[in-house]
Chain A
C-alpha cells in the first residue's frame, strides 16, 4: 500500500462538554476521491477545519504526505493543498484573472509562473471569456468554478472541497462534477463533503458517513448500499397510503417497511409480488426503483429533521 496523502487518527474535538468529532479516523490514498457525508452538525466542517489547522483538535493526529503533521507543519502542508471552502472567499474588487494572481502570490509563486498558469486554469473553469469580469458579475456556478481554479493555482496534490456544489442549479452542478472528474482522471486526490448523494455516488471512490461526530459507515458507495440495504424500493404515496404500512399481506412481501410523511417505503429483494399485490389499490401511486445512497443515508442517520439544521 502506498503512503496515504492524508491520514487522520482518533481525532477528537469538543466544544465545552459537547463532543462534535468523536474518535474519527480515516485516510486518503493517492488518486482517490473520498466523500464525507452526514447531516448538518455531523462534524464535517469541523473536521475539515482541523485538517486545515484552522481549528485545534483536542486529541488525535492529522498526518499529511506520510510525515507532515497538522498544525505543526501547517505552512509546508498548505503549499501542497488546494481548498474550496463552503463560502466563496473570492476578492470582489478583482477580476477573475487578478483573483488568481493575488492568490498565487500567497504561495510565493512568481508573477511569471502565475501568468503562465492563468489561461489554462480559466479555460479549465470554463471562464476564459470572463477573465476580466469581477465576481459580482459572475453567476453562482462561475464563482464556484473560479474558486476551484484558484485552489489549483499551486498545482496541489490534494484538494479539500467543502460542499462545492451547494446552492448551484443542476446545470452548474453537472459542470462542476465534470470538472472534478477531469481532476480525478489527472490523478489528483480529493476530499469532499457533500449533502448530495448523487454527487457522492458519482465522484467518490469511498464514502465516510458521519453522524454526531462518529463515523457510522465507511466504504465504496455500491458496497455500502449492498451491505446495508435491500436492492429495491417501492414507494407508495397518495390518499391513505400510510395505512398500507400496517397491511400484514404487504409487509410479508417486503423485508422492511418505513413511513415518512405521506409515503410508505417498502424495501425488498423481489419487487414483483409486491407490485402485483399493490394493484389492489389503484388510486395510490407507486414508484419502483433501485435503492440508492439517499436510502442508505436516511437509514443510517434517520429521517428526522435535525434541531440545528
Chain B
C-alpha cells in the first residue's frame, strides 16, 4: 500500500478543501459572536486598566528605543500580542479539541472528500482568525481610549494575524497529544504563562538576567512584541526580518509537527 501515507512526517497535502471547514466554524461562531467577543476582550482590557493605569501611575514612563513612553502605551503594545496568543491558543486547544475529540466533527468531515491535512489547516486558520478578530476589537478600544493613534497600526494588524497563526500552530501540537482538557493546563502554565512574563510585555527584557534574556529574545512572543510595539509608537521595528523569520519558523515547524501528530492520532 501507499508508503507515503504511512509516513506521518510526509509533507502537508493542502488544498482549498479547508474552506468549507473554516466556514463551518464561522457559522457556529456567528451564532455566538457577541457573547464570545465580550469574553475575549474583557480579560485583556482588565489587564490594561489594572496594570496600565494602576501600575502605570507608579511607573510613569518607560524607556523604549531611546525614548520615554507612557507605561500604558508600553503595556498596550505588548499586551495586544498576548491577546493574540491567548485567543489563538484557546481556540486551537479547547475548541478544536471539542470538535476533534468530543463531538467527533472531524470524523464526520473526513467521511466527505476532505483530507485530515485540510481539516488541520482549517482549524489553524480559524484559530488565527479568532485571534485577529479579538485583536481588532481590542485595537478599537485602544483607539477609543486614545492610547495610540499611530497610522502604522494598520501594519500591526497583519503582523498580529501572523502571531495568531504561530500560536495556533503551536497549540495544535498539544491538541494532537491531548487525552482530555486537563492536559491543556500544562501548556498554559508551563509554556504560555512563562512566555508572557519573559517576552517584554510588562517590562523591558533588558531587566532580565543575561542568561534568561538570551533565551527570551528568541521566544515567538518576544518577536511579536518587538515587531508590534514600535508600530504603536509610529516607528518601524528594528530587525523586522529577523523577528518575522522567528514567527514564520515557529509557524512552519509547529504546523508540521502538529500535522504529523494529528495524523498519528487518527491513523488506526
* Chain A interface residues toward B at CB < 8 A: 46, 49, 52, 54-59, 71-72, 74-76, 78-79, 81, 83, 85, 87, 89-94, 98, 102-103, 105-108, 151, 154
Q: Nearest chain-A residue to B20 (Cβ)?
A: A105
The 3 closest A-B pairs by CB, nearest first: A89-B108, A106-B112, A105-B20
Chain A residues positioned under 8 Å from B17 (CB to CB): 75, 106, 108
B31 touches A78 (CB 8 A): no
Q: Identify the stretch in B99-107, B138-146, B152-160, B203-211 within 8 Å (CB) of chain A at 4 or more residues.
A: B99-107
A79 touches B113 (CB 8 A): yes
Is B177 on the interface with A (CB-CB < 8 A)?
Answer: no
> How far is it, in angstroms, between the C-alpha of A259 and the C-alpha of B114 when the chains are bound?
51
12 contacts between A and B (CB under 8 A): A46-B268, A57-B1, A58-B1, A59-B1, A75-B113, A75-B114, A78-B113, A85-B111, A87-B104, A87-B107, A89-B108, A91-B105
B5 touches A56 (CB 8 A): yes
B107 touches A89 (CB 8 A): yes
> How far is it, in angstroms, between the C-alpha of A71 and the C-alpha of B20 when the chains are bound?
22
A91 touches B1 (CB 8 A): no
A55 touches B267 (CB 8 A): yes
Which residue of A55, A75, A79, A90 has the most chain B CB atoms within 10 A of its CB atom? A75
Known: A49-B268, A87-B107. 18 other contacts (CB 8 A): A55-B267, A56-B6, A58-B1, A74-B113, A85-B108, A89-B105, A89-B107, A91-B105, A98-B27, A102-B24, A105-B20, A105-B23, A106-B21, A106-B114, A107-B113, A108-B20, A151-B111, A154-B112
Q: Nearest chain-B residue to A79 (Cβ)?
A: B113
B108 touches A103 (CB 8 A): yes
* Chain B interface residues toward A at CB < 8 A: 1-2, 5-6, 17, 20-21, 23-24, 27-28, 31, 103-105, 107-115, 266-268
Chain A residues positioned under 8 Å from B114 (CB to CB): 75, 106
Chain B residues positioned under 8 Å from A49 (CB to CB): 268
Q: Nearest chain-A residue to B32 (Cβ)?
A: A93
Q: Nearest chain-B residue to A93 (Cβ)?
A: B28
> How far is it, in angstroms, between the C-alpha of A87 and the C-alpha of B107 when the chains are bound?
10
**Chain A nearest CB: distance from B26 CB in Å?**
10
Q: Nearest chain-A residue to B24 (Cβ)?
A: A102
A/B pair count, beta carbons within 8 Å: 81
> How far is it, in angstroms, between the C-alpha of A71 and the C-alpha of B108 when the chains are bound?
17
**Chain A nearest CB: distance from B6 CB in Å?**
6
A83 touches B27 (CB 8 A): no
Known: A57-B1, A58-B1. A103 touches B107 (CB 8 A): no
Which residue of B1, B21, B104 has the most chain A CB atoms within 10 A of its CB atom? B1
Q: Nearest chain-A residue to B102 (Cβ)?
A: A92
Q: Nearest chain-A residue to B3 (Cβ)?
A: A56
A105 touches B113 (CB 8 A): no
Chain B residues positioned under 8 Å from A154 (CB to CB): 112
A91 touches B110 (CB 8 A): no
Chain B residues positioned under 8 Å from A98 (CB to CB): 27
Known: A89-B104, A102-B27, A105-B23. A71 touches B5 (CB 8 A): yes
Known: A56-B267, A92-B103. A106 touches B109 (CB 8 A): yes
> How far is it, in angstroms, between the C-alpha of A83 and the C-alpha of B113 when the chains are bound?
11
Chain B residues positioned under 8 Å from A93 (CB to CB): 28, 31
B28 touches A94 (CB 8 A): yes
B109 touches A94 (CB 8 A): no
> How far is it, in angstroms, between the C-alpha of A152 and the C-alpha of B20 when the chains are bound?
18
Chain A residues positioned under 8 Å from B5 (CB to CB): 56, 71
A91 touches B24 (CB 8 A): yes
Q: Nearest chain-B residue to A81 (Cβ)?
A: B111
**Chain B nearest CB: distance from A152 CB in Å?**
12
> How far is it, in angstroms, between the C-alpha of A49 and the C-alpha of B266 when the chains are bound?
11
B23 touches A90 (CB 8 A): no
A90 touches B112 (CB 8 A): no
Partner pick for A102 among B1, B6, B20, CB 8 A cutoff: B20
**Chain B nearest CB: distance from A100 CB in Å?**
12
A75 touches B268 (CB 8 A): no
B28 touches A52 (CB 8 A): no
Chain B residues positioned under 8 Å from A85 (CB to CB): 104, 107-108, 111
A78 touches B111 (CB 8 A): yes
**Chain A nearest CB: distance from B106 CB in Å?**
8
> How far is it, in angstroms, between the C-alpha of A49 and the C-alpha of B27 when the chains are bound?
29
Chain A residues positioned under 8 Å from B23 (CB to CB): 102, 105
B24 touches A105 (CB 8 A): yes
